[in-house]
Amino acid sequence: MTTGEFELSPREFSIDVIRRLREQGFTAFWAGGCVRDLLLGRPATDFDVATNATPAEVREVFGTRRTLAVGESFGVMIVLGPKSAGQVEVATFRLDGTYADGRRPDHVEFCDAEHDAQRRDFTINGMF
């Protein structure tokens, strides 16, 4: 990760996260609202990443001091960046099981990008 005297924007940091995952052989894309905002020409400030790396693999790439397991059982990790860059949510491609509480799936199954996109709503959130 680029640190030290350089200040990274959230966008630059998210690109660095994607680059590092790809250098380790993983697939990684921007996902969600940042894709929508960039396609619409709006400034994007919240950059989420979807990947085939599992939470354990994300932790291995970025280290335990740079990652937070905010939803590890759902495949969601936070990668902490320099102060200027904030953080990036990194989610493993997944299929959701049933929703007993209507909010969180009872279980998830990790999958590929195509199947993950199909579980998302039918708007731009299904684009990477």
- 66-121 pLDDT per residue, tens: 999 998 888 999 999 999 999 999 999 998 877 788 777 788 889 999 888 888 76
Both structure tokens of 38: 């960039």
Spell out the residues 6+ positions from residue 74 whose beta carbon is closer than 8 angstroms to its own.
91, 94, 104, 105, 108
Both structure tokens of 105: 């799936």
The reported pTM is: 0.85
Domain ranges of the chain: 10-120
Beta strands in 20-86 (DSSP E): 28-31, 48-51, 67-71, 76-80
Whether residue 31 has pLDDT greater than 70:
yes
Task: Say how far residue 1 (Cα) sits from the centre of its chain.
Answer: 16
Average pLDDT over residues 47-69: 96
DSSP state of 72: G
Angle ∠(35,99,117) on CA atoms, nearest 5? 25
* Cα distances (Å, whole numbers) of residue 46 to 4, 12, 23, 64: 22, 12, 23, 22
**10-120 topology per CATH:** Beta Polymerase; domain 2 (3.30.460)
pLDDT for position 32: 87
